[in-house]
Amino acid sequence: MKVNSPVIKATDLDFALEQDQKDPLAHFRGRFHFPETKTGEPFIYFCGNSLGLQPDTADQYIKEELEAWKKLGVGGHLNSKRPWLTYHELLTHYSAKLVGALDREVVVMNSLTVNLHLLMTSFYRPNGKRKKILIENNAFPSDRYAVQSQLKIHGNHPKEDLMILNPDQGETITTEWILDCFEHHGDEITMVLIGGVNYYSGQAFDMEAITRKAHEYNCLVGFDLAHGAGNLHLKLHDWGVDFAAWCGYKYLNGGPGAPSGVFIHERHLGKSDIPRFEGWWGHDKSTRFQMPDEFVPTASAEAWQLSNPPIFSMAPLLASLELFHEAGIENLRKKSEKLTSYLENLLENELEDEIEIITPKSIEDRGCQLSLRLKTAIPNIMDELHRQGILADWREPDVVRIAPVPLYNTFEDCYQFVQRMKKIVRG
């Protein structure tokens, strides 16, 4: 059953200020650093879907590791405040809670596209007629490039073996449309790789229903959760998803190029018949430093690790994940639904003639992002937004993406954005 946006009809500033006053998560805003305008005012930062803000403890955590390196050298692996040998494990539980997984199903490592390739090495196993990969239209280009190259490596042809789901309602690909695809082509599809939330439209897919239907046809299911982790309330283990990966620098606020997270369902763990690229950090911990000739995989998602973790890159991500753990993803999602719905209502009431919201209206079918299609081209739109104290995101040919993030955005941010947007679009 689809759930429409909460009915929020108020459009005045007093309502926004009242909601901010009542917000039990409001204090988290003070835990982040905001870029400032030339006048020293914080930007309205609606760009957390591209790069999240810096947590206030991020620099402290990095400095602590620099100091450990300075004073301990190699001894930091065992004797630092947070020993480097096991540093990545500090991120495991927080990450698992965030995506609805068991601890042993999650590891933080590498970058997103690297991880997608590592996962596809294991889970893309073409066999005869069953060799197609299913992705969505307007998938993030890196996903498309990765999938195409995997097809080529296996001797298959992207033009023939890449199956693309095109929208059936405007910019939206309905769940029914996706499920129907399996009814007609399920015997040809061997793997699904869909963005949990589409980066362009902001549509969130019904991952549980897709996974269930795909498994009926013996298709393996993976999700790129770059725009899902830290945005949606995920339940990857319960949904039965085979694998997933996400970046650490968008909603998770881990800083530019932050390490990626990986999920592999426990039914795939500890199996010797799953192909995988192997490296020494994936070797069984009890014998890793005995340097054996034969690889013995760790009985967890850590078996997919290749190298020891990048400590300085993980430190800011740890700082942010601690905040997520404190706030609770359920609470954040509840606020997010209300925050985005308020913004949606303001836009529909005050800018209906100038913009079209292409993101689905049902709260089940979106995260916090709204994608706004401009009905009339505005020259230098990003410069104009910047002059108005707004940091948002532009996607060709005509879409402004805005993401009111519940950890640090406010209802007043939403109100002020719309007032300033009116100045821009109406001259």
Please tell me the distance from the alpha carbon of residue 248 to that of residue 23, in angstroms, as a whole number.
26
For residue range 293-324, list pLDDT tens digits in order: 999 999 999 999 999 999 999 999 999 999 99
Burial of 170 (0-12, 13-18, 19+ CB in 10 A): exposed
What pLDDT band is residue 1 in, cutting at 50, 70 and 90? very low
Give pLDDT, residue 222: 98
Report the Cα 96 to chain-centroid distance in Å: 14
Task: Give residue 318's identity as a one-letter amino acid code.
Answer: L
What global pTM score does this model have? 0.95
Q: Which CATH superfamily includes the segment(s) 13-55+329-425?
A: Aspartate Aminotransferase, domain 1 (3.90.1150.10)
Give pLDDT, residue 125: 94
Q: Are both 13-55+329-425 and 62-325 of the same fold?
A: no
**CB neighbours of residue 318 within 10 Å:** 22
Residue 414 has pLDDT above 80, yes or no: yes
Q: What is the 3-state secondary structure (H, E, C) of 78-120?
A: HHCCCCHHHHHHHHHHHHHHHHCCCHHHEEEECCHHHHHHHHH
**CATH code reported for the domain at 62-325:** 3.40.640.10
What residues does each domain of the chain span?
13-55+329-425, 62-325
What percent of the chain has a predicted confidence (pLDDT) above 90?
95
Phi, psi (rounded to 5 degrees) for 45: -100, 100
Please tell me the distance from the alpha carbon of residue 165 to that of residue 144, in angstroms, as a whole number.
12
For residue range 96-140, list pLDDT tens digits in order: 999 999 999 999 999 999 999 999 999 999 999 999 999 999 999
